[in-house]
Structure 1
Amino acid sequence: MSPEPLSPPQTPQLPGMPPLATPGQRFAARLVDTLVLGVLWAVALAATGALQYSMDHPGEQDMARVTLALVLTMAVYFGYEGTMLSRTGQTLGKKLLRIRVAMLADGDVPARRGWVRAAVYALPGMLVPVLVGTVFWLVNSVSLYWDKPYRRALHDKAARTVVVTA
């Protein structure tokens, strides 16, 4: 008697919802949103004078201005992500990749929970200078690989959301 072939584990289909987005789709969408973040960062560095300072003083940084730029960048990014997710469940990256954030319970647009998801994702970025934000982002981003069965990152769990195809 030959053993039955092993089949790959199937991700459960959520009732009434489209299939879960793949990690690759989520990664590509986050790359697009990181470009948005990069533009915000450049604008904040220029607006606070941190960019000009580093050009006038090669090899030096005004850490007070850089920190202010970081806080402004992450606050605006929080607003961007929270607004987009609470209204449509999609940031620019998610729209481009045709995925969306949905409430795990019923597939609805996250509404207020979109703000929770955005806060857990964006606001730890303010702690990047003390490395805490960077470590949190890394753990948060890769956590979807070991979450079963819905591939949720920490910000999904906090908001009780899941990412599905749109």
Structure 2
Amino acid sequence: MSSLPAGWYKDPAEPDTQRYWDGEGWLGKAIPADAVPPDGPPPVEEEPPPAPEPTATPAGPAATPAPQSPQSPPPGWGPQPPPPPGWQPPPGWHQPPAGQQPPPGWQPPAGQQPPPGWQPPAGQQPPPGWQPPPGWQPPPGMFPPMQARPHGFALAGLGPRLVARLIDIGAVLLLNVVINGWFAYQWAREFVPMYRATLDEMANGGSAWDVQASGRMDGLLWAMLIIATLLWLAYEAPSIGSSGQTLGKRIMRIKVVAVEDTKPLGFGRAFGRWARLGLWTPAWGCAGIGFVLQLIDCVSPIFDQQLRQAFHDKTARTVVIALPPDDRQPVDATTGGNGSTGQN
């Protein structure tokens, strides 16, 4: 149904004339464009009587007009001007000849194929069944970006990855309380006198930088940082190398897999992935430089829209996937597994 109301409009086929549009088609004969049209539709014209059938002519050598080529257009045919604003093709409209382009913004009616060479405007989806011409490139923003699914699984979200990392930090912290507790106690015994001496120096008008830490404090600090690094390595690398999951990743149902297959990473590859992040831990004693570098690595998946890889994932060529709720696990195709736990 057309959205153009009934009334007198310029004929798109003959701009020098105007005709009456009843909402579905043109009625009556055309009148000059500058003439004042009557109110309402034109009067109904009586149909002319049928023409008499031509009498058969005797066969003879009389010349007959040569038939026109079916490929040539009729006399006077040419490109037509665009229709008035809001005009929609009436029912029964057929496609224009090959090579003739529709007006800008035109959309084919439902169930009708667009003419050859037609391209959908930017930001609009093509009609069903439309095939692009050779060499055609879609305009930017026409098709939404496809989300990668490594080995058929969705990528792990940034939220679950953050929660899993916080759980792992808490687990490593508990290990440090047990293993590093004695070193932390000895360091505190050295720190309390130095702190009191600093307060006394500042009360007497001195500077806090005049009080220097003892060499034993520095040794205890480096020992705690090295032990913390080794505890983190022992906690994460073996579990990622064998199953792709630490305690936090198991709770959040995410898993580390290789980009090329789903085989276990092995300790060597898991160590390389951890080292890109964990070996900066001793540098915490250098004005917190190690902490800053580790923080940048942890937020780096935000800037990778394709695979959400952190810097340590790019180093090891790994990706973090989200496991579905049906306990289905990634299984390498070469093993013949079906990808479900508890099944042969």
% identical equivalent positions: 29
Superposed, 1:142-157 pairs within 5 Å as: 142-157=299-314
Alignment equivalent of 1:164, drawn from 314, 321, 327? 321
* Runs (4+) off by over 3 Å: 1-10
List gaps (5 residues or longer) in structure 2.
1-104, 106-120, 126-140, 197-212, 324-344
Superposition TM-score, scaled by structure 1 size: 0.87
> Larger relative contact order (C-alpha < 8 A, sep ≥ 6)?
1
Q: Counterpart amino acid of 2:278?
A: A
Q: Is the 8 A contact 2:154 2:321 kept in 1?
A: yes
Q: How many corresponding residue pairs?
A: 164
The counterpart of 1:119, out of the listed 272, 275, 281, is 275
Q: Is 2:240 aligned against 1:105?
A: no
CA 1:53–1:113 in 2, change beyond 3 Å: closer, same or farther?
A: closer
Work out whether 1:95 is the aligned partner of 2:95. no
**Which of 134, 138, 148 is the matching residue for 1:12?**
148
Residue 31 of structure 1 corresponds to which residue in structure 2? Answer: 166
Alpha carbons 1:44, 1:70 under 8 Å: kept: no
CA contact (8 A) 2:187 2:221 kept: no
Alignment-derived partner of residue 134 in structure 1: 291
Q: What is the root-mean-square deviation of aligned Cα atoms in Å? A: 2.3
Please say which of residues 1-10 and 57-66 is displaced more in the overlay. 1-10
Q: Which ranges in structure 1 are unaligned for 5 or more consecutive residues? A: none
Q: Which moved more, 1:84-93 or 1:32-41?
A: 32-41
Greater Rg by CA: 2
Q: 1:70 to 1:44 in 2, by over 3 A?
A: farther
1:145 is paired with a residue whose SS is: helix
- 1:48-71 CA distances to partner (integer Å, 9 max, x unpaired)? 2x3244157534882321220111
Partner of 1:68: 223
Name which of structure 1's ranges 152-161 and 131-140 shifts more when overlaid on structure 2.
131-140
Q: Distance in 2 between matches of 1:117 and 1:53?
A: 32
Describe the shift of the 1:151–1:56 C-alpha distance in structure 2 as closer, same or farther (beyond 3 A): same
Q: Which residue of 54, 59, 69 maps to 2:188?
A: 54
Give me the whole-angstrom Cα distance separating, in 2, the residues matched to 1:47 and 1:57: 14
TM-score (norm 2): 0.44
Q: Which amino acid in 2 is paired with 1:12?
A: A
> Which one of 21, 24, 42 corresponds to residue 177 of structure 2?
42
Distance 1:13 1:57, change over 3 A: closer
